[in-house]
Structure 1
Amino acid sequence: MADAIMKFGVEPWNFAELVEAFKQAPLYHLAFEVILVVFIIRLIFSKSYSIESTVKLTEAEREQLVQEWEPEPLVPPVDPNHPALHYKVITKQGNNKLVVDGKEGINVGTFNFLGMLGRKETEDAAIQTMRKYGVGTCGPRGFFGTMDVHLNFEEKMAKHMGVEEAILYSYGFSTIASAIPAYAKKGDLVFCDEGVSFAIQMGLLASRSKLKFFKHNNMADLERLLQEQAVEDKKNPKKAKVMRKFIVVEGLYVNHGTIVDVEKLIELKYKYKVRVFMDESMSFFVLGKTGRGVTEHAGVDITDIDLISVSMEAALGTMGGFCLGTRYVVDHQRLSGLGYCFSASLPPMLASAASMAVDITQKETDIFQKLRSNNEFIHVQLSGLPGYRLDGDPISPIKHLRLEETSGDWQKDQAFLEKIVVRALDEGVVLTVARYLEEEEAFLPPPSIRIAVNVTLTEDQLTKITSVIRILAAAVLREKSEGE
């Protein structure tokens, strides 16, 4: 055998040299080879899995398992007293009155800031378009859902706001919730205000970006986070080069009634090289001399904001939403904005109603000053109520009346404020407590009575609203003190 091996030029094994080679080999190398050999032996002798090799049960055992099985509920248990299960029914609306559960009252509970919901001009525009196009398109914008009404509205808004492009969405909530993940992706960084709306929170969740929250409307805290990130970026410049950074805020915060410091925001944008997304659902057609929002109110260039989103379900009194920006920014949404690409387009009649509402604001130039006067009147009259605090800017149409000292029980405080709302309806004033998904909110605001002022309120109605709230707030607080 050895002669045969030598014939082909291969030396026979030398066991002494083999032992010497094992001695010289690194210990980790030998350990790895031993583990590998053991794994191969185990793999060879292990039994192959067979789907048929299951335990066979008798009929009695099978019946017992069926009887013992308890299915888990599809939804978590809900309190039978939850407000969502006992909703109020509106049977009539329009102008500044609502009929709720058969009781008529002055409306300061809905976001009909300009009184567009119920105006004959917007209703006629919607009816005329419905007769021409029907009630809907039954298709997304990218397929057969785009009509001339949509394109005309986008062109009108872009021209009205002085930007390159506008893009129309079919649902206000999905506008900002789709716009954020269209740009911010996994690996990016978003600096976000703690007080943003639930729609923004869902957009942030869908983006899968890294989130850093700063204190509500606190530009100093935002700059602190930006400075800390700048230090981190210097430590890892390669990562910083590919990481995109965004700041996400609201122009007028729906959960607080406060206005963003947009001048400082723009300063930080250029100082730290970040992009700014701003939701102006509550500030468009509300703030500014001509209703063009926070940028006009502060006197800054709208192009300094990279993306502006607006829900039309407030001041314009219709459905849907739109985004404003450069042509490059808007065109990207047409390909990656989920709410735009996959949702049926906005019914043309609603786009026509929104377009008519914009025309009205351009003709009635004093409408925004009248709204501002109403806002300031309500703010002055309700400020300083004993036991309460009024949150919100004086010129904001959104006010939040909150308890000065909370009990520590969120549900208990909510129920306390609900008593005022219920009694106010009996007195002819329609209010509402602010509603939230308590378990889902990133930063749950304190309970509050949300007051939404509108331009159609007369002087007598404003006086009645503030008088009813003051009297009932004091009465309920007194009852609480006597009960304790």
Structure 2
Amino acid sequence: MASQWVFEFLNEVPFYHVFLEVGLLMSVLWLIFHKSYNPKELAQLTDKEKELLIEEWTPEPLVGEVSLKHPAFRRRIINGKAEKYMNIDGNLCLNMATHNYLGFTGNKEIEDTAVTSLHKYGVGSCGPRGFYGTVDVHLVLEERLAQFMKMEEAVVYSYGFSTIASAIPAYAKRGDVIFVDENVNFAIQKGLDASRSKVKFFKHNDMEDLENLLMEQAELDVKNPRKAQVTRRFLVVEGIYMNSGDICPLPKLVELRKKYKLRIFIDENISFATLGEHGRGVTEYFNIPKEEIDMVMGSMEWSMSTIGGFCVGSTFVVEHQRLSGLGYCFSASLPPLLTAAAIKSLDIMENDPSMFKELQTRCHLVHKALSSLKSYELKGDLDSPVKHLYLQMQVKDSDKELDMLNKIADFCAENGVAVTTAAYLPVEKFKPRNSIRITVNNKLTEEEIQKVTSVLEKAADEIL
């Protein structure tokens, strides 16, 4: 039967078609088995020639040339905790460098809670949340964060950097459009890269430039309505920008969100637990209803003095990350002792909201004091706990300017004040001007603030 079927098939198919198919099959077989050269015909090197080639070969270095001015060569050794004061290379310094805004680093209650949790749960959770890494304290923390931020649900990540770097690509995909402030931090930059979406940067806090980009996109949507129906539009900003200390103009952003139908994500790494009457961030600061914001992302590594990050929003939005947030799905969950420390930090914040008003008072005092410096230009919002000092003198060579600022930071450390230069990776799109970054905590006294300004001025007189 089979042979009869083949015979009938060959009678029906044109002869030239069979000939062509057989020819193609033979060509493929020839390409597979044919060797482009005969190994036996290759010239064989003598032992002497081999030794000569080895002597002439120079291996390329694993690491390229690194400038001696690279931060890796400017190591400072800190002994003990980075509290209000810390020991740097043997010098006791007032800490104006780390992000201990509420002074929780070294807090006895938080430390005792972490130790108690350590005895109960052990050191680590040993797995991602979706497998066997979820402990009851993780669920408690998520519930507490959602309640604190007055959102429906929260999801906790084990690392602050991976929170927003995972959250953005969990929603924005290839073909989507993301409108982003040009001054966003490095974690957001990595999230944008991972999303593979079309990214449009607008000038820092420039709402007119943002609206121009939105109008351009609206015109493109009119020309291609079919594509517009499947194109999602996102707006990503920071509550307080790490690279400038400026607060985002949230009311105007919400207005544009409504007008152009955007999904807005806010990174509140700094503004969480620093802005607002109860520390709920930039939405409370501007009295913006939570329903206007699609998702808020924050870090627990600054004000709360622990590790990890979180996202809060509606249940519909947040639940999506439990299956698509790479940092959530594939990273070991937050160690229970650090989770318990975060819960205790929330307890302290809820029991004493006056600490946020105290922090704002210190921010104003520091801002006023730094504004009086003659050798520097102060940038950053009055209410922001992060401020940047730039040299008044214009230095065209960026490396030379950074070297001057590093020398100023070294002088300050030697004279009892810890400050740091803002560090940026050499990414072509993001080149903020070199600066000294100052952080504020709510335990500073007026005398200590005066000391900071005095040492900075002396450093300028000495270095510049």
Provide the TM-score with structure 2 as the length reference: 0.90
Is it true that 1:469 corresponds to 2:456 in the alignment?
yes
Q: Distance in 1 between matches of 2:126 and 2:378?
A: 45
**Tell me, what secondary structure is at the counterpart of 1:196?**
coil
Mapped partners of 2:37, 2:136: distance in 1: 62
Among residues 376, 388, 397, which one is paired with 2:376 in the alignment?
388
1:285 maps to 273
Shift of 1:143: 0.7
Larger radius of gyration: 1
Q: Which residue of 2 aligns with 1:237?
A: 225
SS in 2 for 1:246: strand
CA distance in 2, matches of 1:267, 1:159: 26
Please point out which of 35, 39, 50 is paired with 1:50: 35
1:269, 1:174 → 2: CA distance?
26
| 1:42 Cα deviation from its structure 2 partner | 12
- Cα pair distance change 1:43/1:304, threshold 3 Å: same
Task: Report what 1:415 is aligned to.
Answer: 403
What one-letter code is carried by the residue in structure 2 that aligns with 1:471?
K
Shift of the alpha carbon at 1:65?
Answer: 4.2
Q: Quickly say closer, same or farther: Cα 1:319–1:42, change in 2 above 3 A.
A: same
Which residue of the partner structure matches residue 145 of structure 1?
A: 133
Deviation at 1:217, TM superposition (A): 1.0
Whole-Å separation in 2 of the counterparts to 1:140 and 1:375: 39
Question: How far apart, in 1, do the equivalents of 2:302 and 2:34 lie?
Answer: 61
- Name the counterpart of 2:446: 459
Match of 1:351 among 339, 350, 360: 339
Structure 2 residue identity aligned to 1:203 = G
**Residue 339 of structure 1 aligns to a residue in which SS?**
helix
Give the secondary structure class of the aligned counterpart of 2:444: coil
Q: Deviations over 1:305-342 (max 9, x none)?
A: 11111111111111110011111111110001111011
Q: Measure, in 1, the Cα distance between the counterparts of 2:277 and 2:123.
A: 35
> For residues 75-224 of structure 1, what are the structure 2 equivalents within 5 Å?
75-224=63-212
- Would the aligned equivalents of 2:279 and 2:353 in 1 still touch at CA under 8 Å? no
Query: Structure 2: how far apart are the matches of 1:51 and 1:145?
Result: 55
Q: Distance in 2 between matches of 1:65 and 1:211?
A: 49
Select 1:378's aligned residue among 358, 361, 366.
Answer: 366
Alignment partner of 2:320: what SS?
helix
5+ unaligned residues in a row in structure 1: which ranges? Answer: 1-35, 478-484
CA distance in 1, matches of 2:262, 2:56: 58
Do the aligned residues in 2 keep the contact of 1:201 with 1:442 (CA within 8 Å)?
no
Is residue 114–residue 315 contact of structure 1 (8 Å, CA) maintained in 2? yes
Distance 2:56 2:236 in 1: 51
CA positional deviation for 1:73: 3.4
Match of 1:446 in 2: 433
1:307 pairs with 2:295? yes
CA distance, structure 1, for counterparts of residue 58 and residue 141 of structure 2? 54
Aligned counterparts of 1:192 and 1:227: Cα–Cα separation in 2: 15
Cα drift, residue 43 of structure 1: 5.4
Equivalent-residue separation in structure 1 for 2:130 and 2:58 (angstroms): 46
Matches of 2:303 and 2:34, distance apart in 1? 65
Give, as a single letter, the amino acid of the residue that structure 2 aligns with 1:170. S
The amino acid across from 1:323 in the alignment is C
- When the two structures are superposed, what TM-score results if normalisation uses the length of structure 1? 0.87
Shift of 1:135: 0.9
Structure 1 pair 244–376 and aligned structure 2 pair: CA distance change class (3 A): same
1:248 CA drift (Å):
0.7
**Residue identity matched to 2:394:** T
Using the alignment, how far apart are the partners of 1:175 and 1:137 within structure 2? Answer: 18
- Where does the alignment leave 5 or more consecutive residues of structure 2 unmatched? 1-19
Change (3 A) 1:140 1:56: farther
Counterparts of 1:42 and 1:349 in 2: how far apart (Å)?
Answer: 68
Hey, what's the Cα distance between the residues in 1 that align with 2:447 and 2:34? 82
Moved more, 380-389 or 145-154: 380-389
Alpha-carbon distance between aligned partners in 1 of 2:153 and 2:43, rounded to the nearest angstrom: 67
Equivalent pairs counted in the alignment come to 440
Distance (whole Å) between structure 1 residues aligned to residue 427 and residue 64 of structure 2: 13
1:81-131 residue CA offsets vs partner (Å, 9 max, x unmatched): 411233211102254101011111110100000011110011011111011
Instruction: Report how far residue 442 of structure 1 moved.
Output: 2.8
